[in-house]
Copies of this chain bind each other. A is one copy, B any other.
Amino acid sequence: MKKPFKKPEPGDKVELIVNRQSHRGILLESHDSSVLLLKLDNGYNIGFKKSDISEIKLIEKKHEENNKEDKRISGKKPLVDLIMTGGTISSKLDSSTGGVKWLINSKEFFKIYPEIFNIVDIRIINPFMKASENMSFKDWARIAKIVGKSLNDSQVKGVIITHGTDFLHYTASALSFMLGKVNKPVVLTYSQRSSDRGSSDSRMNLVCSAHTALSDIAEVMLVGHANLDDEYCFALQGNKCRKMHSSRRDAFKPINANPIAKIFPSGKIEILRNYHKRNKEKVKIDPLYNDKVALVKFYPGQNPDILDYYVKQGYKGVVIEMSGLGHVLTEGKYNWIPKIKQAIKKGLLIYAAPQTLFGSLDPYVYSPGRKLEKAGVVFLKDILPETAFVKLGWVLGHKEWRGTIATKIKMLENINNEYNERLGTSFFI
């Protein structure tokens, strides 16, 4: 029966006729008013230009109760706390302004991401909505406190945090120190493409995150696309991964580490390495932080006077991205060694991490490394510069770990696998 074109409602099961072909599925909310977005029975989402649709048939009206917020928690499925902090995954295009709008409640969340509710009951916690470049150590601490509370709530099976991608690995590192060894899965997830785009990675990332949150893996993890196929996600160790591509859906890569597991949208989990297991220990939240720390990337010819700036501004510690083995300029008029000695004397702690990202510092191979060590630089083995920076702020947040020796001991202690006990050369691109 041919009907005049009318605005269908998200949640309705419909059949669309496009170029004489029939497509059946659930209508999703679309933020481009000229496009209908359909979730096909095979799970794929597909967008159709309204102008290409010759017919639309209602197969089943959406269940109205799905729209009532109190039904989010059925009590029949395991409960997961979802901490919504912002980012592309928590946003949608506002068709009226063309700008980006945050998804601020579970009702909207449900409309856009219905699939996750087949797996878990969700309790949404929304401390703030931010792009990740605007997060600070205060936000990391706030998230840590919320996560810790959820982890210590016996009703909660696991935690998902939705977050912007750009500086997500900094937040993940912060949580790995502020929460230490966790008792349940803590999953940070994201999307590179917003939910209203056909190629969006948000749905699969969320579904895989839900499965991970119910798993046995009690680690702070990033869960997202492993490659450009929509086949599975990787669960990556939060403090040993990094955003390595501006736009690809598989932008996050493990650095000096293997992925913990492959997570399939079906719920299948393929473990790839050792991990810390779900347990009944209470989690102790340790969100102290000192933001008088900096990250400096060394480049050839760099004037070491930059260290004067940090001393003068009252900074307590600096992580310098040195060469892969741990070198900076050590001769001529810009010799860093005298300036490093001077800065350390004035109370600035100086740590080194490798700007190659992959591999480990090894300052003993050549004499400049040995000289830098003698000058007081502490070499942080195979840690990521970003993780080193976050860790330094966290360590210096604790009175009892302040002082050259105490800080050094804590910085070199392997708190949450930020170092490999033995680093082979097999972790590489």
Contact = CB atoms under 8 A, between A and B. Distances in A.
A329 B291 CA distance: 15
A133 B425 contact: no
A246 B428 contact: no
A135 interface: yes
Given A133-B323, A300-B133, A301-B137, A356 B99 contact: no
A132 to B, nearest CB: 7
A222 to B, nearest CB: 15
Nearest to A389: B299
A136 B332 contact: yes
Given A299-B170, A299-B389, A300-B136, A246 B324 contact: yes
Contacts of A309: 306, 309
A109 interface: no
Given A100-B367, A294-B299, 9 more contacts: A99-B367, A133-B327, A170-B299, A243-B356, A244-B428, A246-B361, A297-B297, A299-B389, A309-B309
A359 B245 contact: yes
A380 to B, nearest CB: 12
Contacts of A362: 246-247
A366 B131 contact: yes
22 contacts: A133-B327, A133-B330, A134-B329, A134-B331, A135-B300, A136-B300, A136-B334, A137-B301, A167-B300, A244-B428, A245-B425, A246-B360, A246-B361, A247-B324, A247-B325, A247-B425, A248-B359, A248-B425, A251-B356, A291-B301, A295-B302, A309-B309
A294 B298 CA distance: 10
Interface residues of A, number: 65
A169 to B, nearest CB: 10
B305 A244 contact: no
Contacts of A361: 246
A251 B361 CA distance: 14
B243 A170 contact: no
A250 B389 CA distance: 28
A396 to B, nearest CB: 14
B166 A323 contact: yes
A354 interface: yes
A368 interface: yes
Contacts of A170: 299-300
A241 to B, nearest CB: 12
Contacts of A134: 300, 329-332
A357 interface: yes
B305 A245 contact: no
A83 to B, nearest CB: 17
Contacts of A243: 323-324, 356
A-B residue pairs, 6 tightest by C-beta: A246-B324, A246-B359, A429-B429, A166-B323, A136-B301, A245-B358
Contact of A328 (B133, B253, B428): B133
A389 B131 CA distance: 27
A42 B173 CA distance: 49
A313 to B, nearest CB: 7
